[in-house]
Amino acid sequence: MTIQLGQIAPDFEQDSTHGPIRFHEWLGASWGVLFSHPKDFTPVCTTELGEVAHLRPEWDKRNVKTIGLSIDPLEAHCIWEEDIAETQGKAVDFPMLADPDASVSKLYGMIHPESDPNVTVRSVFVIDPAKKVRLILTYPPSTGRNFQEILRAIDSLQLTDTRAIATPVNWAQGDPVVISPRLSDEEASRLFPQGFRTLKPYLRLVDLEAVE
């Protein structure tokens, strides 16, 4: 199955390290990050899961729930979590889905058709409170993810959802943003009384923090 941006994230019910989870119900009114791992007891995944646990205050600040997935069974997840706590200095504090029949992996297209069918790629799905898929990232099994970039992207999504703006290249919290080309200069002046810089008619930058 091919998941596309803007579509409703497929719902499912699956066992996890926190008990059975019905995905949409578990998400509730939160944002969600669903991310998959090639296998249990693999080195890169061990570091990733520890990092997501370390970032708990950042997820909570953004109203984000995190949930991992591996095709290994639940019993293996529980043993692996002991290794993660020991080596990464932080216990996994979010659910890990057990997907031994690969039902969720196939539902979300996490298995590369030309790779080992028993190994999932490193997929990331950011899902908003309306259950829509807002961001998709896919890494090869050999490359660990940058969760600071995932946080940055969520910051952009949450900011731009409520205003007629977009975030430019390498944007971070506090940087100027781009005013939507759909707004006339008159409309932009009303919405951004702090003023903005026009580099081109279609490229106008505004500092939001000037009035916040």
Cα 135 from Cα 13, distance rounded (Å): 22
- The alpha helices in 28-169, defined as continuous H runs, are 43-54, 56-61, 74-88, 103-107, 147-160
Q: Where are the beta strands (DSSP E) in the chain?
A: 13-14, 21-22, 31-37, 64-70, 96-98, 122-127, 133-139, 165-166, 177-179, 197-200, 203-206
45 in active site:
yes
Cα 151 from Cα 155, distance rounded (Å): 6
How many beta carbons lie within 10 A of that of residue 69, not counting itself? 23
Instruction: Give the distance, in angstroms, between the CA of residue 171 and the centroid of all CA atoms in the same chain.
Output: 17
Instruction: Answer yes or no: are the C-beta atoms of 133 and 126 closer than 8 Å.
Output: yes
Cα 196 from Cα 40, distance rounded (Å): 50
Please give the backbone phi and psi of residue 155, each rounded to the nearest 5 degrees, phi first.
-55, -45
Catalytic residue among 9, 21, 45, 179: 45
Which residues belong to the active site?
Answer: 45
